[in-house]
């Protein structure tokens, strides 16, 4: 059996060069804009590792990115492009919010049920995309985007109707019994908002690896992704596999929403836009090559960059949006590896001549 | 009658940006290059129009400055189009991924630049000179129709003119035939002497710049400045319009008008007593819900250009 090839030299070369070139281009943009890139990156690193609290909050930022990365990655492996993670996150927080505020259950069980409700609603939202693609042939790209906005306003509607905290633009807070904060770990990192989602994310990475590579369902999923027609002729139920894959993808997204409500904010704010985390998930999954370990590593990278970027604006006056540009550059070079190879061709030739 | 006239006139206002954006997306997709980046191109157009119009204003161009803004959006958005074209055409990158990169890069860089240029502010200054509705003499006097069509922003007339021009180019000229053939069967097109990659470069770059006019329209008519939520998903609605309109300019325009109508309904219905009982979220949701329902119900199998999404590989000839 062929082992996954993530540790081969070639497959590591492009992402690492892409990251370096992305950071250098970011520095260049800062320099041209009249900022000090060295001070900026220095304050970014200080922000990430500066204190135990910051390190805890960095981990909190990484968790949803890894989950979103997995959500996008699993759909990619089946040949689908899930731009709808944002909507699945919203449905996930809605499910968790409803259970967290409207239901009375003993501690622990309450949190668990709330998480499951969020995961299930997110999964349904994803499965709907998969169904429309599989049965009606409608591009998942368009439906998932439409469902993002429908989820946004649907959630606002429900919150306004029966969960609004009087006189504010946010929902009432969840009951304490539904909290999934890990207080002992939180105390360890000076009160950073670490929660059980941290553990679930690690389990999700393991689940993804095992499901995709060790089970019959994972084999079918990959077969559909490589060639749906061949999979169909081999007797696989392609529509069923697409719906199932999108359900799992939606569950990953739904969990992100549930974590935020139950572990971090305790309420849902009424916002005019979606979080955009789903789009970051696309970046994470692409850089990670849609593999479990790759998604974990790139989630850690983008999470650290995102959290650290707040330090850049504070310490060096650089607008934090620069990190969006850096992330954009990185995926651009990963998506078009030919450019990376072109950039480094002179060096390649030299080393060969020397050898 | 007045209400319906207002509703339809409002439809034109909301649809204009979508018509530009959908036409932009269509040109690229007809040549075989998927354009998920329309949202990013609209953001780029909105930003560049706000900035060029602002500087034109401070330089004293007065009433001409929105026109300069429009041109600025068209010209400067070539940057992002070229990035997409290079990645997809020369380097055979996954076109959906490249489009996503455009969306991330466009939003990231424009917000960065806004903060950089305007000293940390999250949005551009409000423009004093924007487009105003133009009443076309005599034609406005036609009952009903005059009020609906002949009292609109100049950008609306530009958008509709572009649709007609491109419909003609695509289906009545040799260049249009070449562009379509490159999107259907690039290898066959190449054997009869069509320069596949050059044609695709032209159409992708044109695509981004025309989609940018959509973003510019929003800034130069209704919003008067550029902020982080100026576009908020309209590029994706335009993308849906391309699909619902079956990659046909007039079809895409009709689909864009449908979404514009859904948005106009929101504005017009808030006047009524009974409508105030309907939660406002429903009206916000309407365009998206409508898109989804139209996709599910009316469209059936839509027919995309055959080579859409496939990089041109000369070896496959």
Say whether pLDDT at B232 is over 70: yes
Of B34, B277, B285, which to mutate for an interface test with A (greatest number of A Cβ within 10 Å)?
Answer: B285
Of B36, B91, B112, the CB nearest to A319: B112
Residue B314 placed within a domain: no
- Residue range A143-163, pLDDT digits in tens: 888 899 999 999 999 988 888
CB contact under 8 A, A327 and B108: yes
Higher pLDDT, residue B27 or B266 = B27
Q: What angle do CA B101, B105, B107 make, to 5 degrees?
A: 120
Angle between helices A109-136 and A85-102 (to 10 degrees): 150
Residue B91 placed within a domain: yes
Residues of B with Cβ-Cβ distance to A335 under 8 angstroms:
87, 93-94, 97-98, 101
What is the Cα–Cα distance from B255 to B258, expressed in whole angstroms?
A: 5
What residue numbers bound the domain in which B239 lies?
Answer: 2-135+142-298
Instruction: Compute the Cα dihedral for B228, B233, B239, B242 and give only its sign.
Output: negative
Residues of B with Cβ-Cβ distance to A161 under 8 angstroms:
279
Instruction: Please report how many Cα atoms fall inside a 13 Å half-sphere around the Cα of residue A340, on the Cβ side.
Output: 23
Residue B18 placed within a domain: yes
Give the model's pLDDT for residue A10: 60
CATH of A35-338, one of 1.10.3470, 1.10.287, 3.20.20, 3.40.50: 1.10.3470
Of B292, B297, B300, which to mutate for an interface test with A (greatest number of A Cβ within 10 Å)?
Answer: B292
Residues of B with Cβ-Cβ distance to A147 under 8 angstroms:
288, 292
Give the residue-averaged pLDDT of B133-137. Answer: 83
CB contact under 8 A, B112 and A132: no
CB contact under 8 A, A279 and B103: yes
- Residue range B240-256, pLDDT digits in tens: 889 888 899 999 999 99
- Residue range A207-263, pLDDT digits in tens: 999 999 999 999 999 999 998 899 999 989 999 999 999 999 999 999 999 999 998
- Residue A214 CB: number of other CB atoms within 10 A? 10
What is the Cα–Cα distance from B47 to B27, expressed in whole angstroms?
A: 22
What is the Cα–Cα distance from A186 to B212, expressed in whole angstroms?
A: 47
Angle between helices A52-77 and A216-226 (to 10 degrees): 70
Give the model's pLDDT for residue A9: 56
A317 class by beta-carbon count within 10 Å (0-12 exposed, 13-18 middle, 19+ buried): middle
Residue from B81, B19, B26 nearest B48 by CA: B81
What is the Cα–Cα distance from A219 to A225, expressed in whole angstroms?
A: 10
- Residue B277 CB: number of other CB atoms within 10 A? 7
C-alpha B216, offset from chain centre: 9
Higher pLDDT, residue B138 or B49 = B49
Assess contact for A189 and A53: CB atoms under 8 A: yes
Percent with pLDDT over 70 in chain B: 96
Pick the residue from chain A with its C-alpha nearest to B232.
A273
DSSP string, A129-156: HHHHHHHH---HHHHHHHHHHHHHHHHH
Assess contact for A101 and A74: CB atoms under 8 A: no
Residue A315 host element (H or E): helix A292-316
Ranges of H-type helices in chain B: 2-30, 38-58, 65-76, 78-85, 95-117, 145-149, 154-172, 174-184, 186-191, 196-217, 234-244, 249-269, 280-297
Q: How far is B305 from chain A (nearest CA, A)?
A: 14
List, in order, residues 6 or more apart from A199 with CB less than 8 Å away. Answer: none
What is the Cα–Cα distance from A228 to A133, expressed in whole angstroms?
A: 13
Percent with pLDDT over 90 in chain B: 49
Assess contact for B299 and B244: CB atoms under 8 A: yes
- Residue range B105-118, pLDDT digits in tens: 999 999 999 998 98
Residue B151 host element (H or E): strand B151-152
Q: How many domains does chain B have?
A: 1
Give the residue-averaged pLDDT of B222-237. Answer: 86
Say whether pLDDT at B290 is over 70: yes
DSSP string, A154-223: HHHHHHHHHTBPTTSSBBPPPPGGG--B-HHHHHHTTT---BTHHHHHHHHHHHHHHHHHHSHHHHHHHH
Give the residue-averaged pLDDT of B270-292. Answer: 79
List, in order, residues 6 or more apart from A22 with CB less than 8 Å away. Answer: A326, A327, A329, A330, A333
Of A34, A156, A322, the CB nearest to B112: A322
CB contact under 8 A, B105 and A335: no
Of B95, B228, B236, B259, which to mutate for an interface test with A (greatest number of A Cβ within 10 Å)?
Answer: B236
Residue B307 placed within a domain: no
Residue B228 placed within a domain: yes
Average pLDDT, chain B: 88
Residue B59 placed within a domain: yes
Domain boundaries, chain A: 35-338
Pick the residue from chain B with its C-alpha nearest to A82.
B96
DSSP string, B127-143: PS-----EEPTTGGGST
Q: What is the pLDDT along chain A (355 residues), one digit of tens a residue?
A: 344 444 455 667 788 888 999 999 999 999 998 899 999 999 999 989 888 888 888 999 999 999 999 999 999 999 998 889 999 999 999 999 999 888 888 888 998 999 999 999 999 999 999 999 998 888 888 888 889 999 999 999 998 888 888 777 888 888 888 888 877 777 777 777 888 888 999 999 999 999 999 999 999 999 999 988 999 999 899 999 999 999 999 999 999 999 999 988 888 888 877 788 888 898 899 888 899 999 999 999 999 999 999 888 888 888 888 998 999 999 898 888 888 777 776 666 555 555 4
- Residue range B40-61, pLDDT digits in tens: 999 999 999 999 999 999 998 8
Residue B113 placed within a domain: yes
Give the model's pLDDT for residue A4: 46
User: Measured over all CA atoms, what is the biggest interatomic distance in chain A, rounded to whole angstroms?
Assistant: 74
What are the structure tokens assigned to B45, written together?
A: 């157009």
Of B83, B104, B243, the CB nearest to A142: B243
Residue B7 placed within a domain: yes
What is the Cα–Cα distance from B136 to B159, expressed in whole angstroms?
A: 16
CB-defined contacts A:B, below 8 A: 139
Give the residue-averaged pLDDT of B71-86. Answer: 95
B166 class by beta-carbon count within 10 Å (0-12 exposed, 13-18 middle, 19+ buried): buried
Q: Could you tell me the CATH number of the domain that includes residue B170?
A: 1.10.3470
CA dihedral A243, A249, A254, A255 (to 10 degrees): 140
């Amino acid at each position: 059996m062929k082992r996954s090839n993530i540790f081969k030299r070639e497959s590591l070369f492009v992402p690492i060069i892409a990251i370096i070139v992305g950071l250098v281009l970011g520095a260049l943009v800062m320099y041209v804009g009249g900022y000090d890139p060295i001070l900026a990156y220095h304050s970014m690193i200080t922000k990430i590792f500066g204190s135990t609290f910051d390190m805890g909050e960095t981990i909190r930022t990484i968790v949803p990115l890894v989950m979103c990365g997995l959500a996008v990655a699993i759909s990619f492996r089946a040949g689908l492009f899930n731009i709808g993670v944002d909507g699945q996150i919203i449905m996930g927080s809605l499910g968790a919010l409803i259970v967290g505020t409207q239901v009375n259950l003993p501690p622990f069980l309450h949190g668990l049920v709330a998480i499951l409700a969020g995961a299930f609603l997110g999964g349904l939202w994803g499965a709907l995309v998969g169904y429309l693609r599989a049965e009606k042939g409608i591009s998942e790209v368009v439906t998932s985007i439409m469902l993002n906005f429908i989820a946004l306003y649907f959630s606002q509607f429900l919150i306004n109707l029966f969960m609004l905290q009087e006189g504010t633009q946010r929902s009432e807070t969840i009951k304490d019994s539904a909290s999934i904060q890990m207080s002992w770990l939180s105390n360890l990192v000076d009160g950073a908002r670490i929660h059980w989602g941290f553990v679930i994310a690690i389990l999700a990475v393991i689940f993804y690896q095992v499901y995709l590579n060790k089970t019959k369902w994972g084999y079918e999923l990959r077969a559909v992704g490589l060639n749906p027609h061949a999979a169909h002729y081999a007797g696989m139920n392609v529509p069923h596999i697409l719906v199932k894959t999108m359900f799992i993808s939606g569950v990953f997204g739904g969990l992100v929403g549930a974590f935020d409500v139950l572990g971090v904010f305790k309420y849902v704010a009424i916002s005019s836009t979606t979080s955009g985390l789903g789009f970051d998930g696309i970046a994470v999954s692409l850089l990670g090559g849609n593999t479990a370990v790759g998604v974990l590593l790139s989630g850690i990278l983008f999470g650290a960059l995102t959290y650290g970027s707040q330090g850049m604006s504070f310490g060096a006056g650089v607008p934090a949006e620069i990190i969006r540009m850096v992330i954009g550059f990185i995926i651009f070079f990963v998506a078009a590896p030919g450019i990376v190879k072109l950039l480094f061709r002179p060096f390649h030739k030299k080393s060969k001549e020397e050898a | 009658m007045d209400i319906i006239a207002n509703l339809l006139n409002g439809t034109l206002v909301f649809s204009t940006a979508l018509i530009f954006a959908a036409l932009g997306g269509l040109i690229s997709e007809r040549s075989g290059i998927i354009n998920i980046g329309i949202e990013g191109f609209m953001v780029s157009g909105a930003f560049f129009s706000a900035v060029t119009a602002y500087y034109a204003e401070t330089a004293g161009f007065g009433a001409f400055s929105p026109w300069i803004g429009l041109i600025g959006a068209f010209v400067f958005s070539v940057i992002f189009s070229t990035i997409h074209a290079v990645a997809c055409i020369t380097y055979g990158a996954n076109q959906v991924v490249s489009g996503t990169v455009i969306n991330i890069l466009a939003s990231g860089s424009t917000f960065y630049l806004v903060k950089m240029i305007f000293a940390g502010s999250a949005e551009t200054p409000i423009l004093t000179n924007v487009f105003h509705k133009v009443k076309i003499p005599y034609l406005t006097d036609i009952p009903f129709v005059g009020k609906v069509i002949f009292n609109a922003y100049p950008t609306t007339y530009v958008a509709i003119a572009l649709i007609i021009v491109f419909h003609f180019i695509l289906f009545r000229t040799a260049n249009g035939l070449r562009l379509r053939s490159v999107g259907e069967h690039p290898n066959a097109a190449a054997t009869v002497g069509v320069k596949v990659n050059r044609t695709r470069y032209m159409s992708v770059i044109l695509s981004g710049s025309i989609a940018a006019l959509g973003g510019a329209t929003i800034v130069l008519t209704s919003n008067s400045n550029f902020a982080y939520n100026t576009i908020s998903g309209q590029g994706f609605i335009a993308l849906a319009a391309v699909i619902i309109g079956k990659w046909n300019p007039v079809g895409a325009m009709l689909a864009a008008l449908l979404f514009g109508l859904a948005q106009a309904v929101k504005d017009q219905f808030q006047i009524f007593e009974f409508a105030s009982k309907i939660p406002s979220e429903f009206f916000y949701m309407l365009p998206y819900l409508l898109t989804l329902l139209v996709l599910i119900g009316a469209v059936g199998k839509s027919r995309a250009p055959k080579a859409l999404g496939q990089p041109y590989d000369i070896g496959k000839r």
